[in-house]
Structure 1
Amino acid sequence: MSDRQLRLMMEPRSALWRPYTQMKLAAPPPQVRATDGVRLELEDGTRLIDGISSWWTACHGYNHLHIREAVADQLGRMPHVMFGGLSHEPAERLARRLAKLLPGDLDHVFFTDSGSVAVEVAMKMAMQYWLNRGTKGRHRFVAFRDGYHGDTMGAMSVTDPDGGMHARFSGYLPAQFVADLPTDLDRIASLESLLARHRDEIAGVIVEPLVQGAGGMKFHDGDTLRRIANAAARHGHLLIADEIMTGFGRTGRMFACEEADIVPDIICLSKALTGGTIALAATVARTHVFDAFWSDDPGAALMHGPTFMANPLACAAANASIDLFEREPRLAQVRTIEAALAQSLEPARALPGVVDVRVQGAIGVIQLTQLKDAGWLRRRFIELGVWSRPFGDILYLAPPFVITPDDLQILTDAMVTIAREWSDRFGG
């Protein structure tokens, strides 16, 4: 037996390379053996309330019977078939339903298999839109400080280059324009100037509507989003809305763009699209964008096609998830969660180590002066029966929409308790 085989037998977890983890320093993470409703069950029998819905995906909770039955039925008939040159009813039906759900004429659905790839396709779509119209040189994007759009190369380039985690790649990534959100007169003027000055270079403007997620759970209002949309339209730029996190009810509307009554030229969806069941994403374009690709020239086609795009199992899960939004009071549940979060997290505002407490839809945030000892914070959540994953300088909750008031109270009590203990340990 080789040394490598012996090492793998003695340390079976070493074969896994984990996300966002320095493998040399990290302790083994908790092992999950089952999920049910809003709970994770660990190998040792510990049950944790999932406060962040598996990265904001499990909006209906885990193992929802309707989604399970839809996936099981599809599995028995056709788990997968290539989408190049073929089609199938689950994808056709899902595309029609998304087009009906989305505002305006966002009617043309291109399926992918992850949020980052949905962003890549949106960027590629925007650049080729101009090329197909005979305009060269428009290949750069305007993104916003504190924004985050994914970990693939194009998505990294439109993520905040200073506050994000991709600074090491700065010499390799395409150079984009990074602006401040237009929240005051000076920033509005600065954005307008940027869009006018570089009009012939800009392919599109990309924004996370209302909530900048992994960039720090930072919120802005509908007026700010409307300013961005109006400025993009005024200067002739395509607007890309990255609703990978915010889509499907998380901010209180089915889609965050509805808060500002805007229709982006392209929208990116993923995460809660399948109710947290199977990976699926979609990049959806308005008619005028699609029409730029409608041509007698084969070279004008969108040359992109992930192998597992429009996977039938994932489409079945997504159709079942949309059923639940139609049948059950999800948005009303979000409003109830929002009110409970606002009330229950407010006591943390007075703590010396707390910078801010904020709530948007089913997202609650306690921002600390700084994040020290993330390992202690995560262990402390587990001790209190909660799964959360603090990052940057924030503690946050984004629970499943079906959570009961009692379980939500456990989550918020844990947040406030840990914020208080953190303040006692590290001061203000």
Structure 2
Amino acid sequence: MSISKALQEDSLDYAFDEQHIWHPYTSMTHPFPMIGIKSADGCELITEDGKRLVDGTSSWWSCVHGYNHPVLISAIEKQLHQLPHVMFGGITHEPAIELAKKLVKITCPELTKVFLADSGSIAVEVAMKMALQYWQGKNNPNKQKIATIKRGYHGDTFAAMSVCDPDNGMHTMFGTSVVKQVFAPSPTSAFDDSNVESDLANLRATFETHHHQLAAFIIEPIMQGAGGMYFYSPEYLKGVRVLCDEFNILLILDEIATGFGRLGKLFAYEFADIAPDLMCIGKALTGGYISLAATMCSDNVAQGISDSPAGVFMHGPTFMGNPLACAAANASLELIAKNDWQQQIPAIEMQMQQELKGIEKLDAVNDVRVLGAVAVIEIDRSLNAAQLQPLFTEQGVWIRVFGHVIYIMPPYSISSQQLTKLTTAMKSVAKFLNQSENQTESTFLSHG
């Protein structure tokens, strides 16, 4: 019996879900087929009918320690009985103070101020607002635009959408409702390339034309995530810092996907040995157990905002500094501080490189790339996630494709056997797509 058929016969009300619940990036008239998850343990999701799926996405790149971790659960339970939530305006509490201390300690010395937000998208919104308000404090209110590179992704809220890829991103349908920002070409250099002169020349040309109106430049360091999982050279990021300084533009680093060890450094900016003016973090901040993000900035940025006409930073989410989320983050950072990830990530990287070797020879495969605990098989055409999903679940894995890529970003605690199951499934689907070059995927799936 297929997993989809089995799930239709259990206790979950899939009909209600299909008719009333709007899931991410789905249509209410042509809904994406859902998999019912009853529980999770370690690196596995357990379906309603008891099937175990090795999680290849860490629940959208956040659950880095695995599920049902006793340290994280204990921290949340303890905080739940003490202070689950309190407004952050005019009030503070120990979990928030402890978290801010940890973040200031583990990031570069320039980042001294911490604004606790609800989610990654809000952290980006906060960073952009900070940059705009900073220049008001510097008596330069004409700096009202944000620059970035193409192929980027920074979130789904309106300011964040404005710095996502304007041509092939997820938000092109919103047209003039989204503020028009300034876009430079994305870098062409691969991670191990040192020749980045032409890429930096393109960015210089953009800055020369627009620097008088640019408050900040925002970029995902080293890896462009949801824009296609592209890795670029640390030399390019070094050049970005130099150009931002030269043209008097603040540098915002979006480390929401890359922070806390994912690429092999605690933060991806460490590959380039630079410091940002502002930085956004989230996802793995709490180990994926509860939503929390943060925007960090320098003393200089904070001073500029304080010198602005408002005198205060104009943002205050209801759930800012939520004690439960801060407690989870503190526990997660304690696990990170044990430094197990420094052995886990290289081992994951090496195994993925070895097990995916040779798959790039398939005609349907454009590229195979691995960095840290991220592995990508780029296919030569756009992929239909709904049609391909059964091929993964039937192999006992949870892998969700998007765009042209089959990718995994597993929990750091994954076993070598579980990781092999993921890479085997990736190769299996890549081979299937290679065989189906001249036939529709639906034809193959109907006989699967």
TM-score, structure 2 length as denominator? Answer: 0.91
Match of 1:68 among 69, 73, 93: 73
Asked if 1:404 is matched to 2:404, the reply is: no
Report Cα offsets for 1:179-214 as digits up to 9, x if no partner. Answer: 113444333222112212212100000000011110
- In the alignment, which residue of structure 1 is the partner of 2:52? 47
Asked if 1:135 is matched to 2:140, the reply is: yes
Contact 1:161 1:170 in 2 (8 A): no
* Equivalent-residue separation in structure 2 for 1:253 and 1:199 (angstroms): 31
Match of 1:414 among 408, 425, 438: 425
Asked if 1:208 is matched to 2:213, the reply is: no
Contact 1:59 1:399 in 2 (8 A): yes
* Equivalent-residue separation in structure 2 for 1:74 and 1:217 (angstroms): 36
* Equivalent-residue separation in structure 1 for 2:110 and 2:20 (angstroms): 47
- Give the secondary-structure state (helix, strand or coil) at the position aligned to 1:142: strand
Of 329-338 and 392-401, deviating more is: 329-338
- In the alignment, which residue of structure 2 is the partner of 1:172? 177
* Equivalent-residue separation in structure 2 for 1:396 and 1:27 (angstroms): 19
Once the two structures are superposed, the pairs formed by residues 229-268 of structure 1 within 5 Å of their partners are 229-268=241-280
* Equivalent-residue separation in structure 2 for 1:133 and 1:225 (angstroms): 26
Deviation for aligned residue 1:328: 4.5
Contact 2:199 2:236 in 1 (8 A): no
- Give the secondary-structure state (helix, strand or coil) at the position aligned to 2:49: coil
Q: Hey, which bits of structure 1, 4+ residues long, moved more than 6 A?
A: none
* Equivalent-residue separation in structure 2 for 1:226 and 1:194 (angstroms): 17
Contact 2:136 2:305 in 1 (8 A): no
Once the two structures are superposed, the pairs formed by residues 12-411 of structure 1 within 5 Å of their partners are 12-13=16-17, 14-182=19-187, 183=189, 184-295=196-307, 299-411=310-422
- Give the secondary-structure state (helix, strand or coil) at the position aligned to 2:276: coil
Distance change (3 Å), C-alpha of 1:10 and 1:412? closer
Deviation for aligned residue 1:35: 0.7
- The residue type equivalent to 1:421 in the other structure is F
Listed as ranges, the gaps of 5+ residues in structure 1 are: 1-8
Deviation for aligned residue 1:228: 1.1
Deviation for aligned residue 1:26: 2.1
Of 179-188 and 254-263, deviating more is: 179-188
* Equivalent-residue separation in structure 2 for 1:185 and 1:285 (angstroms): 29
Contact 2:383 2:401 in 1 (8 A): no
* Equivalent-residue separation in structure 1 for 2:235 and 2:198 (angstroms): 15
* Equivalent-residue separation in structure 1 for 2:438 and 2:258 (angstroms): 33
Deviation for aligned residue 1:298: 7.5
* Equivalent-residue separation in structure 2 for 1:199 and 1:425 (angstroms): 48
Contact 1:91 1:310 in 2 (8 A): yes
Listed as ranges, the gaps of 5+ residues in structure 2 are: 1-12, 190-195, 440-448
Distance change (3 Å), C-alpha of 1:176 and 1:298? closer
Of 238-247 and 343-352, deviating more is: 343-352
CA RMSD of aligned residues (A): 1.5
- Give the secondary-structure state (helix, strand or coil) at the position aligned to 1:422: helix
* Equivalent-residue separation in structure 2 for 1:185 and 1:327 (angstroms): 39
- Give the secondary-structure state (helix, strand or coil) at the position aligned to 1:331: helix
* Equivalent-residue separation in structure 1 for 2:343 and 2:248 (angstroms): 37
- Give the secondary-structure state (helix, strand or coil) at the position aligned to 1:357: strand
* Equivalent-residue separation in structure 2 for 1:427 and 1:129 (angstroms): 55
- Give the secondary-structure state (helix, strand or coil) at the position aligned to 1:293: helix
Deviation for aligned residue 1:418: 1.0
Report Cα offsets for 1:349-382 as digits up to 9, x if no partner. Answer: 1111100000111000000001343323211000
Deviation for aligned residue 1:422: 1.2
* Equivalent-residue separation in structure 2 for 1:418 and 1:357 (angstroms): 14
Distance change (3 Å), C-alpha of 1:38 and 1:15? same
* Equivalent-residue separation in structure 1 for 2:438 and 2:353 (angstroms): 24
- The residue type equivalent to 2:300 in the other structure is H
- In the alignment, which residue of structure 2 is the partner of 1:4? none
Distance change (3 Å), C-alpha of 1:10 and 1:325? closer
* Equivalent-residue separation in structure 1 for 2:382 and 2:186 (angstroms): 24
* Equivalent-residue separation in structure 2 for 1:372 and 1:278 (angstroms): 30
Distance change (3 Å), C-alpha of 1:92 and 1:372? closer
Contact 2:136 2:309 in 1 (8 A): no
Contact 1:211 1:219 in 2 (8 A): yes
Deviation for aligned residue 1:325: 0.9
Deviation for aligned residue 1:118: 0.2
Report Cα offsets for 1:275-331 as digits up to 9, x if no partner. Answer: 000000000001111121345x77221010000011000000000001101124112
Deviation for aligned residue 1:10: 9.5
Of 375-384 and 302-311, deviating more is: 375-384
* Equivalent-residue separation in structure 1 for 2:309 and 2:87 (angstroms): 21
* Equivalent-residue separation in structure 2 for 1:200 and 1:298 (angstroms): 21
Of 101-110 and 179-188, deviating more is: 179-188
TM-score, structure 1 length as denominator? Answer: 0.95
